[in-house]
Amino acid sequence: MATVSFQQASRIYPKSERPAVDSLDLEIADGEFLVLVGPSGCGKSTSLRMLAGLEEVDTGSIVIGDRDVTDSPPKERDIAMVFQNYALYPHMTVEENMGFALKLAGLSKDERATRVREAAKILDLEPYLSRRPKALSGGQRQRVAMGRAIVRNPQVFLMDEPLSNLDAKLRVQTRTQIAALQRRLGTTTVYVTHDQVEAMTMGDRVAVLKDGVLQQCDTPGVLYDRPANVFVAGFIGSPAMNLVTGDAVDGGVQVGSGMLPVPRDHLTRAAASNGKVTVGFRPETVRLVGPGEGLPVRVNVVEQLGSDAFLYTSLADAPDDVLHSADLVVRTEPRTPVAAGQQLWLGADRGALHVFDAQTQQRVD
Amino acid sequence: MATLAPPVTDTGRDTPPAAPTTRRRGHRGGSKAGKPGPVTYTLLTLVALVSIFPLYWTLVAGSHTNAEIAATPPPFLPNASLFDNFQAALEQAPIGKAILNSVLVAGSITVGTVLFCTLAGFAFAKLQFRGKGVLLGLVIGTMMVPTQLAVIPLFMMIAELQWVNQLQAVILPTLVSAFGVFFMRQYLISALPNELLEAGRVDGASTFRIFWSIVVPVARPAMAVLAMLTFLTAWNEFFWPLIALTTANPTVQVALAGLGSGYVPQRSVIMAGTLLGTLPVLIVFTILGKQIVGGIMQGAVKG
Amino acid sequence: MTIASGTVREAAIAAPPPRSAAPPARPRKRRQLTRNRWGYAYVAPFFLVFAAFSLYPFMYTAWVSLHETSLSNINGGTWVGLENYRDLLQSEFFWNATRNTFTIGILATVPQLCMALGLAHLLNYKLRGRTFFRTVMLMPYATSIAAATLVFSQLFGRDYGLINTMLEAVGLQAIDWEAGTVSSQVAIAVIVTWRWTGYNALIYLAAMQSIPGELYEAAEIDGASKWKQFLHVTIPSLRPTILFTIVVSTIGAVQLFGEPLLFAGNGTTSGGSSGQYQTLGLLMYQQGWSNFHIGQAATTAWAMFMIILVIVGVNAVIGRLRARADR
């Protein structure tokens, strides 16, 4: 077990202007489950591969425990990795796949067998030890890949989108199993995913990346309740947070013909740059208010989910086309008597508003 | 040189294939032109007959006496004189020795080519080193250099080494093949996901260990195809063996060339000899034909 | 934490990281993790053999072509500069061989590739006995040049050849295949075509099968007939493969040697009594190993290489122009 730290670590691919990972600073505690999340191309996989030793670190350094491993090859880092496509050796049986690293480390045959069996028991793989990967289901392959990592008892687990090749149902199941397994083993884990639900449900802390730059790293709760900037606000949560931009006026933000009341101190700070303010509010915090109050919207689609309902709306002044059909999303009680085409007025609890400077995109409170 | 590049661009250079198992070509029922009619079968049967007839005729002519094949109408079924003609052919040319030599030569060339080309093909497919592009260009470029351009210095070389009429003279120069390197490279680019090599590195394997324990097992199907094609090519190689060897210590092809050059060419004996020299390949082909067909088609898409 | 990456980097340089492992923008001379020297070790065996038995001979042939020298006195030749090349260009044997190489090349390549394309189309149907047909069509490819030529020279024989017997049976005149210029070249082209059609058909078939079925389905829905589909879906998709086979076949055609050498059955290097089917490959062999003029032979070899370069170059240009036209 060990801590992991990225210190101003950057990766700049040859012939590329922009760094794939830009001066990443990240401290991961011993035994922590840290999730790197972001849209594709944000540098999350590159960061993981830098930690694994599969990618150069151009500037800065990476430390595992108290050892600077910046220049060490993967085998000297005492890490194990679970790949997106599992990367199981196709010509080896499950047992050989799991024992390969141990064999290379010079462990005796008996010792190998014992440790492989132990891991296989935890992962419910015992009946399949003599099978080849080809003869396994997707979920079983995924477990073998996990098993290959845990038999080594490494200092750090690295997981690169390990669930993305599973179907939706199995993904949810395996998600909880991996989280439980990690808690049981207590091994420091860095987990990469593009799926914010996965990130929120699994991580002790979640680091959000965009364009190679770390946006925010905190617990799921803080990310949800206090996103540091507009990007994190829009990325975390499903359906996404509603974000509208308008001019700061007395008492609130003017958006088209409507107005959202915003506390004065937030307003002045947010408008400091250029007088524009971005306000965010989550679908579940929206209240339907009386005509003439709040934001006037047109309902485009009503989605009845049984437990609740979602209204997909656009601002009344917005052009009536597909592009704007889901600008603002509202979660309401199921079977709310609202129909498509209807006009509504939306308001939000003051306490639930997220206020950002429209120019710097940063949170102001 | 660009034209010698693969007709189908290599997939997987930028995006590794999804999973090791997905490289197999999926079922593409849609591309089939539908159900064939009797015309299709007739045409195909005709082509099959034309393909096989000269070989069948070798058997017919080789199993008759000279006088019998000259008859009108000519015979169309094999006859009893096959073994007499075999014997006569063996007296005229050392075909037995030639077959043994050819097995030795083609066998050594196959082992060498498969080994060296797998090593080099792996390096060109998956390793990064300075000058890689230039070296690969060199390999591909020489695929269009005619054999004729090399034989004169080669002949001088083997004369110097006193290798004329020795088997190593035909083995060594053919021990590697540019096509083989290219073929293995194309195969490994698409069949060997980078993740598999990275998994090996994370597991603690050295570069060499990765080659033996991961690359070679994955490359095995392509190695088998390359082995079959190399053996066939080496067995049928004609120009250089004709120069380097004499009929005293020939390969099959050199012996066959000598068979026709008697003063009174005996057609049935020549045909019996040809049959004898072609038989080993035909037997191999009958057994492995399906694999060879698959290999050529796979090579066409990959290389 | 700022969003614009520029600000972050500036900030990073301004304020050194808490645990100073290294200054941020230091030029690194560290162990390379992804690039390595192992590549050389893997290509070394190949390139050793390759350099000794291919690269070096290619170069040396150029050197020899600038000398007047013979097989018996290989290293003692005299420097003659480009004289061998001048002689070659003035030699009627060279022009005769070049002409024959081209006519046989066209006779052997064009019908062969057209037939291969048609054959591939037939093989692409859902056939019973698919493997059988494919395997049988590849049999000629497995047959050696020597064996194939010996058999065909029997079939094309003047007096008792099966083909003449057939011609006479249907009331036509027997042909002295070997003696005539056109007839001998056609016969040799037939041997080449017989050996290679099936092979090329398989190459085309493989390419056809990698065309996505959706393309045909889309064309079908758009109302294209089978023939239009072949013309507008199959052929364009096969274009790179077709170009590839053309290049490979012409390279083979320029080097044609075994078939004309053995066609008369007795291994003479003159290519018929009046050189009516002598090719460049055969001429080169004759110059070097019958007449022992190694220098001349080297010159011819280089001329062959030049011809191949021109053909490949023209094909490359055509391919590039087509690709540009498509864009």
Domain that holds residue B138: 93-302
Judge: B20–A133 Cβ closer than 8 Å, yes or no: yes
C-alpha–C-alpha distance, residues C33 and A70, integer Å: 10
- pLDDT value for C320: 83
Q: Within an 8 Å CB–CB cutoff, is residue A22 touching chain C?
A: yes
Query: In terms of domains, do A205 and A337 share one?
Result: no
Query: In terms of domains, do A120 and A18 share one?
Result: yes
Q: Which residue has the higher pLDDT, C75 or B93?
A: B93
Q: Which of B175, B217, B179, B132 is nearest to B300 (CA)?
A: B179
Q: At what angle do helices C130-142 and B267-302 cross, to 10 degrees?
A: 120
- pLDDT tops 80 at residue B10: no
What are the residue ranges in chain A where pLDDT is below 70?
Answer: 1
Q: Which of helix, strand or coil describes residue C90? A: helix
CB contacts of A148 in chain B (<8 Å) are 199, 203
- pLDDT tops 90 at residue C174: no
Residue A364 lies in a domain: no
Judge: A19–C2 Cβ closer than 8 Å, yes or no: no
C-alpha–C-alpha distance, residues A278 and A296, integer Å: 17
Q: Within an 8 Å CB–CB cutoff, is residue A222 touching chain C?
A: no
CB contacts of C119 in chain B (<8 Å) are 44, 47
From the list C39, C64, C71, the residue facing B129 with the nearest CB is: C39
CA distance A137 to chain B (A): 12
Judge: B1–C134 Cβ closer than 8 Å, yes or no: no
Q: Which tokens sit at A25? A: 């600073």
Judge: C3–A360 Cβ closer than 8 Å, yes or no: yes
Q: Which of A116, A151, A100, A21 is nearest to B196 (CA)?
A: A100
For residue A61, which phi and psi values (nearest 5 degrees)? -150, 165
- pLDDT tops 80 at residue B29: no
CA distance B212 to chain A (A): 12
CB contacts of A25 in chain C (<8 Å) are 17
Residue B11 lies in a domain: no
- pLDDT tops 80 at residue B301: no
Whether residue C256 contacts residue C191, with contact meaning beta carbons closer than 8 Å, is answered with no
Cα distances (Å, whole numbers) of residue A211 to A24, A71, A117, A226, C38? 12, 24, 42, 21, 34
Domain that holds residue A138: 4-234
Judge: C21–A19 Cβ closer than 8 Å, yes or no: no
CA distance A109 to chain B (A): 17
- pLDDT value for A269: 87
Residue B67 lies in a domain: no
For residue A126, which phi and psi values (nearest 5 degrees)? -55, -40
DSSP secondary structure of B268-298: HHHHHHHHHHHHHHHHHHHHHHHHHHHHHHH
User: Which residue among A234, A251, A270 closes a domain?
Assistant: A234
Q: What is the pLDDT of residues C29-42, one digit of tens each?
A: 444 555 567 788 88
Residues of B with CB under 8 A from a CB of A: 16, 18-21, 193, 195-196, 198-199, 201-205, 209, 213-214, 217-218, 220
Query: In terms of domains, do A116 and A249 share one?
Result: no
Q: Which segments of chain C belong to CATH 1.10.3720.10?
A: 93-146+182-326
Look over chain B and give the mean of its residue pLDDT values, rounded to a whole number.
Answer: 81
Q: What is the pLDDT of residues C188-218, one digit of tens each?
A: 999 999 999 999 999 999 999 888 888 888 8
Tell the residue number behind the tokens 């698409």, with chain if given.
Answer: B190
Residue B196 lies in a domain: yes
Query: In terms of domains, do A170 and A306 share one?
Result: no
User: Which residue among A234, A250, A265 closes a domain?
Assistant: A234
Cα distances (Å, whole numbers) of residue B252 to A72, B234, C151, C213? 56, 11, 15, 46
Q: Look up the CATH number of the domain holding residue B126.
A: 1.10.3720.10
Query: In terms of domains, do A202 and A244 share one?
Result: no
Q: Within an 8 Å CB–CB cutoff, is residue A90 touching chain B?
A: yes
- pLDDT tops 50 at residue C18: no
Q: Look up the CATH number of the domain holding residue A20.
A: 3.40.50.300
Whether ipTM tops 0.90, in short, is: no
User: Which residue among A204, A234, A264 closes a domain?
Assistant: A234
- pLDDT value for C20: 40
Touching C: which chains, 3+ CB pairs < 8 A? A, B
The least confident of B7-11, B267-271, C162-166 is: B7-11
Query: In terms of domains, do A250 and A229 share one?
Result: no
- pLDDT value for C72: 64
Whether residue A55 contacts residue A46, with contact meaning beta carbons closer than 8 Å, is answered with yes
Residue A362 lies in a domain: no
DSSP secondary structure of A197-250: HHHHHH-SEEEEEETTEEEEEE-HHHHHHS-SBHHHHHHSSSSPPEEEEEEEET
Judge: B193–A85 Cβ closer than 8 Å, yes or no: yes
Residue B62 lies in a domain: no
C-alpha–C-alpha distance, residues B140 and B182, integer Å: 7
- pLDDT value for C16: 38
CA distance B46 to chain C (A): 11
Cα radius of gyration rounded to whole Å, chain A: 24
Q: What percent of chain B has pLDDT over 70?
A: 85
Judge: B199–A134 Cβ closer than 8 Å, yes or no: no
Query: In terms of domains, do A168 and A291 share one?
Result: no
Residue B84 lies in a domain: no
Residue A170 half-sphere exposure toward CB, CA atoms < 13 A:
13
- Tell me the sheet residues that pair with A329: A312
CA distance A97 to chain B (A): 10
Q: What percent of chain B has pLDDT over 90?
A: 27
Q: Which of C62, C78, C102, C79 is nearest to C299 (CA)?
A: C62
C-alpha–C-alpha distance, residues B197 and B217, integer Å: 13
- Chain A interface, best mutation among B195, B201, B203, by max A CB count within 10 A: B203
Contacts 24+ apart (CB under 8 A), B157-166: B157/C57, B158/B244, B159/C74, B163/B244, B164/B244, B164/B245, B164/B246, B165/B244, B165/B245, B165/B246, B165/B248, B165/B249, B166/B249
Q: Within an 8 Å CB–CB cutoff, is residue A6 touching chain C?
A: no
Q: Which residue has the higher pLDDT, B301 or B4?
A: B301
C-alpha–C-alpha distance, residues C68 and C57, integer Å: 18
CA distance C39 to chain B (A): 5
- pLDDT tops 80 at residue B2: no
Q: How many domains does chain A have?
A: 2
pTM of the model: 0.83
C-alpha–C-alpha distance, residues A4 and B134, integer Å: 41
Whether residue C167 contacts residue C173, with contact meaning beta carbons closer than 8 Å, is answered with yes
Query: In terms of domains, do A174 and A51 share one?
Result: yes
Q: Within an 8 Å CB–CB cutoff, is residue B36 touching chain C?
A: yes
Q: Within an 8 Å CB–CB cutoff, is residue A214 touching chain C?
A: yes
C-alpha–C-alpha distance, residues A226 and A155, integer Å: 32
Q: Look up the CATH number of the domain holding residue A315.
A: 2.40.50.140
Residue A10 lies in a domain: yes
Query: In terms of domains, do A59 and A73 share one?
Result: yes
Residue A345 lies in a domain: yes
Q: Which tokens sit at A283? A: 């679908």
- pLDDT value for C76: 65
Cα distances (Å, whole numbers) of residue C33 to A79, A160, B128, B129, C38? 16, 19, 10, 12, 12
Query: In terms of domains, do A284 and A346 share one?
Result: yes
C-alpha–C-alpha distance, residues A23 and A37, integer Å: 17
- Chain B interface, best mutation among A100, A107, A152, by max B CB count within 10 A: A100
Judge: C3–A61 Cβ closer than 8 Å, yes or no: no
Q: What is the pLDDT of residues B193-225, one digit of tens each?
A: 999 999 999 999 988 899 999 999 999 989 998
Residue A213 lies in a domain: yes
Query: In terms of domains, do A110 and A184 share one?
Result: yes
Q: pLDDT band for position C69 (50/70/90)?
A: confident
Residue C234 gets which letter from DSSP? I
- pLDDT value for C19: 42
From the list B16, B18, B202, the residue facing A80 with the nearest CB is: B202
Average pLDDT over residues B36-57: 89
Class of domain C93-146+182-326: mainly alpha
Q: What percent of chain C has pLDDT over 90?
A: 19
Residue A173 lies in a domain: yes
Nearest CA in chain B to A136: B21
Q: How many domains does chain B have?
A: 1
Nearest CA in chain A to C19: A7
Residue A188 gets which letter from DSSP? E
Query: In terms of domains, do A225 and A258 share one?
Result: no
Residue A292 lies in a domain: yes
- pLDDT value for C5: 37
B-C Cβ pairs (cutoff 8 Å, strict) = 345
